[in-house]
Amino acid sequence: MYPVLIQLGTFELRSYGVIVALSFLLGLWLSTREAKRKGLDPALIQDFAFYALLGGIVGARLYYVVFSDPAHFLRKPWEILAVWHGGLGIIGALVGGLLVALWYCRKKELSFWRFADTLAPGAILGQAAGVLACLLNGDSYGKASGLPWAITYTDSRAMAPLNVSLHPVEIYEMAAYVLVFLLVWGTRKRFHADGFVLLTYLAGYGAARFAVEFFRGNPAIFAWGIPAAQVFASALIAIAFAGFYILGRPSGRTS
């Protein structure tokens, strides 16, 4: 694919960083629009974006470092900071972002559930667009495949195996996230209980990620050969359905 967009001498403008940045801005734009619709001050979203970016990057990188190849990073600890080479785990970004959101809502005395509902559509749309970075960089490649739509990496700067036909797992993932976005988008006005949109996002993302991991060629392993993403995706689904149950009770909290 195209891991490097522009190269001038030793300078490289890598596609991964560019796409991740644009995806973040896309999610921020939609979240700002959603804030206006819900009667929240859009400035709160823009202010939160800085903290979300920091928490998301730290969480995403820690997830990748811990579950991908920790021995490599123990040998070369300076590589932990080289996020422009690729290697950000979306699940880690999600966890980091949620923790920052909890802190931010407490600091600003906001309803976490309402605030998170506002952010959810933008978050999953940004994720769908951000998968393009993985496709171009080859850092989350698929299993070997003989299917007609298999893709092959030939650029030695990509992180995927070269000259091998692979499942286009990034395209599968992008399509799955677009479906989750449409589901989340459709719940915005249909259900009024605070927290429902967030829980729909967590359940949809968890299900999509669990399914996609079956086609991943280099999954981060949790233990006993089980992909870490499927473990965390299962946890997200369980949390979401527990939340749906609580919201469905007469005494369920909506703030």
Question: Residue 223's domain spans which residues?
Answer: 4-248
Do 117 and 197 touch, CB atoms closer than 8 A? yes
Going by DSSP bridges, is the β-strand pair 4-8/11-14 parallel, antiparallel, or unpaired?
Answer: antiparallel
Indicate the number of domains in the chain. Answer: 1
55 within domain boundaries: yes
For the stretch 83-140, pLDDT in tens is: 666 567 888 999 999 999 999 999 999 999 999 999 999 999 999 999 999 999 988 8
Buried b (16+ CB within 10 A) or exposed e, 211-242: ebbebbbbbbeeeeeebbbbbbbeebbeebee
pTM of the model: 0.88
Instruction: Return d(Cα 180, Cα 234) in angstroms, integer.
Output: 16
pLDDT at 190: 86
- Using the 8-state DSSP alphabet, how is residue 77 labeled? G
pLDDT at 255: 45
Amino acid letter at 110? L
24 within domain boundaries: yes
255 within domain boundaries: no
pLDDT at 80: 75
254 within domain boundaries: no
84 within domain boundaries: yes
User: SS3 breakdown of the chain: % helix, strand, coil, rounded to 5?
Assistant: 65, 10, 25
Do 127 and 207 touch, CB atoms closer than 8 A? no
Quickly tell me which residue has 């996002």 as its tokens.
201
Do 111 and 118 touch, CB atoms closer than 8 A? no
Find the largest Cα–Cα distance for the chain.
65
- At a CB cut-off of 8 Å and minimum separation 6, what does 1 contact? 135, 136, 137, 138, 151, 153, 155, 158, 160
47 within domain boundaries: yes
141 within domain boundaries: yes
pLDDT at 125: 97
253 within domain boundaries: no
Residues of the chain with pLDDT under 70: 83-87, 249-255
